[in-house]
Structure 1
Amino acid sequence: MSAAVNRRVVIVTAVHAPSARFLPEAYKSLREQRLPDGWEWHWIVQEDGRTDEVRPYVPDDVRVTFRQGRPGGPGVARTIALAHADGEYVRILDADDQLPPGALARDLAVLEADQTIGWATSRALDLLPDGSTAGFPGDPDEGPVERGTLLDFWKANGFRAQVHPATLCVRRGLLLALGGWMALPASEDTGLLLALNAVSRGWFSAEAGLLYRKWEGQMTGQAAHVDPVEREARMAVVEARARALADVDWRYPPG
């Protein structure tokens, strides 16, 4: 009799040289996750580029796959990593962030319980340089996030998503159907989140599912990220994609 095959949740991490030093802490938070019986995780670490600066920080673990590729930004790195995604669900974990205890198990519980839910998100806490954490107001109530509800909030609140895109756990087939992350220099994760919400119901968990590190080198803190001309263009294409998907009325699950 052959051994039972575990089901997998795939953790996708885009990394570049400046953030590589945080990989051991991300790995520790992943190793401490307790999954339901019959489940295992596979961590895909995809370098956005080909340097010698990332590999030394990648743990030696058979559950970890490390790949490199041409630089194109985190969206490109995550999307090319899907070539090695061999599980039913894909969870984002940025290289400088950490998963709180129980985060993966909560994601799996939601997605396994309701096949009409295409993706799950959760509360994020800022992880400050001194090791403390801080939350912020405005999270929705725990429960389903109905189709189309995130776009209007995002547009009315200065292009701030109501749920944090870095907490996303999504069905692999749905992620592939939408083409992965948007080909943008930034906001690629928000673009994916709004596209997902245009075609499927989601879920928000009020319990923290991510420790979002705040540090001087993070990409969202760089001047280029807030350049007004580029930002206006990014927001325009993110909105246009979400509205186009809503207009064609393609939805998950089909039928």
Structure 2
Amino acid sequence: MSRRVTVVTAVHGPSARFLPDAYASLRAQLLPDGWEWEWVVQQDGTTDDVRPYVPDDARVTFRQGRPGGPGVARTIALARAEGTYVKVLDADDRLTPGALARDLAALEADPTVGWTTCRVLDLLPDGSTVGFPGDPDEGPIERGAVLGHWERNGFRAPVHPASLCVRRELLVALGGWMALPASEDTGLLLALNEVSRGWFSARAGLLYRKWEGQVTGQAAHDDPAELEARRAVAAARARALAGFGWGYPPAPAVPAPPVPATPPAP
């Protein structure tokens, strides 16, 4: 019986035209023997301008829902996710060859690793790519490392949350993506790293498209009051999880001591 990885994509009208490119990059993935992928596409809205771009493929499911932002769309899509692992692929981004196989290799090799990320390249309108400075070395990302780096470096995480692949049970336990108008993926990344180790692949696994309609490029994304609030609640959530001491994988249950037998009444 095949094992499955679920690729989750949130899409809205302006980004729908990029879905064929995302699909082509998914079809090009070569998975290890015994593995298959499914693509769960969730529209953030109920307009008619997305469905024409959804491919006719039995491995692809498409649903619509009332607008709530990409985090809400991805989280509600989890109701249809049947995979052991959940991989994020935004509608306007593309996977590079081998990206999914590298995610699976890292997660299958070490049960203490709850999630993976990888090197990301900006995909510019002319088709060229640009890398990010300061990527970590390939290898594990220990618990608690992301929040500290994010706070010390102008609220820039050391790894890109758009490249996340995560154990489904861990993602569900954390409630999916944060209910924020933006930075919902960064908030999830911070929370994940407070409860579990991660893994970073130094090979580029995602092409992050830069285009004029990009949500993160709009003025509202950098509204100072909202930005401060998003950062505050994401950090507070991560610290609360760290304070509870809960972690993944969960510690083995300690059996309760036996209850002494009550002596019979004289």
Distance in 1 between the 2:204 and 2:16 partners?
24
Alignment match of 1:142 (pick from 116, 135, 138):
138
CA drift of 1:94 comes to: 0.2
Alignment match of 1:118 (pick from 114, 118, 134):
114
Give 1:46-195 correspondences, 5 Å limit. Answer: 46-195=42-191
Alignment match of 2:193 (pick from 178, 190, 197):
197
Q: What's the CA shift string for 1:120-148, capped at 9, x where partnerless? A: 00000000101111102110110000000
Equivalent residue for 1:34? 30
CA drift of 1:74 comes to: 0.3
Q: What's the CA shift string for 1:39-63, capped at 9, x where partnerless? A: 0000000000101000000000000
Provide structure 1 residue ranges, at least 5 long, that are not aligned to the other structure. none
Distance in 2 between the 1:6 and 1:66 partners?
22
Amino acid at match of 1:230: E
Distance in 1 between the 2:139 and 2:222 partners?
32
Distance in 1 between the 2:10 and 2:65 partners?
11
Alignment match of 1:248 (pick from 244, 251, 262):
244
Equivalent residue for 1:19? 15
Amino acid at match of 2:3: R
Q: TM-score, normalised by structure 1?
A: 0.98
Q: Is it true that 1:220 corresponds to 2:203 in the alignment?
A: no
Amino acid at match of 2:103: D
Distance in 2 between the 1:136 and 1:79 partners?
28
CA drift of 1:209 comes to: 1.0
Distance in 2 between the 1:30 and 1:36 partners?
14
CA drift of 1:205 comes to: 0.4
Q: TM-score, normalised by structure 2?
A: 0.94
Distance in 1 between the 2:141 and 2:85 partners?
18
Amino acid at match of 2:169: G
Amino acid at match of 1:126: D
The RMSD of aligned alpha carbons is 0.4
Amino acid at match of 2:218: Q
Distance in 2 between the 1:72 and 1:35 partners?
33
CA drift of 1:248 comes to: 0.6
CA drift of 1:158 comes to: 1.0
Distance in 1 between the 2:42 and 2:201 partners?
27
Moved over 4 A (4+): none
Identity of aligned residues (%): 78
Equivalent residue for 2:256? none
Distance in 1 between the 2:167 and 2:205 partners?
17
